[in-house]
Amino acid sequence: MHGPTGSNGPTGLTGPTGPTGLPKAELHLHIEGTLEPELAFALAARNGVTLPYADTAALREAYRFSDLQSFLDLYYGLMAVLRTAEDFTELTDAYLGRAAAQGVRHAEIFFDPQAHTARGVPVGTVIEGLSASLERSEERYGISTRLIMCFLRDESAESALATLEAAKPHLDRITGVGLDSAEVGHPPAKFREVYEAAAALGLRRVAHAGEEGPAAYIREALDVLGVERIDHGLRCMEDPELVERLVRERVPLTLCPLSNVRLRAIDVLADHPLRAMMAAGLLVTVNSDDPAYFGGYVGDNFDGVRDALGLTPEQLRELARNSFEASFLDDDEPRRARYLSEVEAYEFGAE
């Protein structure tokens, strides 16, 4: 029996015993979206960048978004503080530390190279910086990792192809490619060529679809881009035939409940379709998206849906199981089996 002082973590350290401590994989996490105001100001000072906010409180005040675009404007603006490989290492270390405290055992991390190359930071600097942290993640934080390079869908297809080309010397550190940023008006098919090239290089494929864009974008991502996982995918619920297909083909959907509220896809967490999606038999996972901006890390998302939707410990365990099943750990099945047995062994404490 684990009370508040029970030990549950892989290291046997005392940790949280609710959904936060539940072992889980995080599959939808933009590393740039983990930039907390304190680190942003510290990096700004170090790099001689002036931020248009008086202090961290003023910056937090700006985190009241009306939609995806209003968030993206601030998100890209704040990236100006990320200049050196060390900056990216520090950013990633900070995320991994927070993730470990919230039960994360495996993380598949997105990054947006074009948001940095556009500011004169070479893709090699970004990947070197991220990798320096990821290489010691297991030892320091007990978290295995994969890196997924995302293309900005509001940039051109040519720019995406050039980005893939520039990343070629670093492909040993990259597991897959993704597609993010402003969705509406930028259908998946725009990136057919770059996804074909990525597949030919042996890269795994995922894409954001059906967050603000229509359910048709989800079909297109599957059929035209050949993706294995859909990021968000919320709007599949408007298309029963598509739901049937996603269930039949076991296509994972990486949901981000707190992000959906902050970006006004839904009004309140209690309106989230997660429960209905689970009941429909969809392979859904819970993730944090851009946790510094959306009010919480992945454990906070688990806590949030448990409270708002009344999820049982068994339903939470199903979400954790799904996260490992949906991961790219099929290249390391013994590890996946180990994580899954940690999920089964986890004891929810009284809270």
Tell me the closest approach of the beta carbon of residue 180 to Zn ion, in angstroms: 5
Stretch that binds Zn ion, among 126-134, 263-271, 281-289, 299-307 (CB under 5 A): 281-289
Is residue 211 annotated as part of the catalytic site, yes or no? yes
Task: Pick the closest to residue 231 from 211, 252, 254 (CA basis).
Answer: 254
Stretch that binds Zn ion, among 78-86, 148-156, 285-293, 294-302 (CB under 5 A): 285-293
Indicate the residue among 87 and 289 with the shorter CB distance to Zn ion. Answer: 289
Listed in sequence order, the DSSP H helices in the chain are 37-47, 56-61, 68-78, 85-101, 113-117, 123-134, 137-141, 157-167, 192-200, 215-223, 240-248, 257-262, 274-279, 291-294, 298-309, 313-325, 333-345
Q: What 3-state class would DSSP assign to 74? A: helix
Nearest approach in angstroms of CB 325 to Zn ion is 20
Q: Is the Cβ of residue 234 or residue 282 nearer to Zn ion in the bound state?
A: 234
- Tell me which residue has tokens 């405290």: 101
Query: C-beta of 294: minimal distance to Zn ion in Å?
Result: 10
Nearest Cα neighbor of 115 from 15, 33, 25 is 33
Stretch that binds Zn ion, among 19-27, 261-269, 282-290, 308-316 (CB under 5 A): 282-290
Residue matched to tokens 């998100």: 75
Smallest distance from Zn ion to CB 338, Å: 28
The Cα–Cα gap between 167 and 131 comes to 13
Our measurement of the distance from residue 73's CA atom to the centroid of its chain's CA atoms, rounded to an integer in Å, reads 19
Our CB check for Zn ion shows the closer of 8 and 163 to be 163
Of 108 and 289, nearer to Zn ion (C-beta) is: 289
**289 forms part of the interface with Zn ion (CB under 5 A):** yes
Catalytic residue, chosen from 211, 212, 220, 342, is 211
Which of 160, 133, 163, 159 shows the shortest CA–CA distance to 147? 133
User: Where does this chain touch Zn ion (CB under 5 A) — which range of 136-144, 288-296, 323-331, 335-343?
Assistant: 288-296
Q: Which is nearer to Zn ion, 220 or 289 (CB)?
A: 289
Q: How far is the CB of 289 from Zn ion (least distance, A)?
A: 5
Q: Are 2 and 347 in contact (CB under 8 A)?
A: yes
Q: Are the C-beta atoms of residues 295 and 258 closer than 8 Å to each other?
A: yes
What are the residue numbers of the active site? 211
Binding site for Zn ion (CB under 5 A): 289
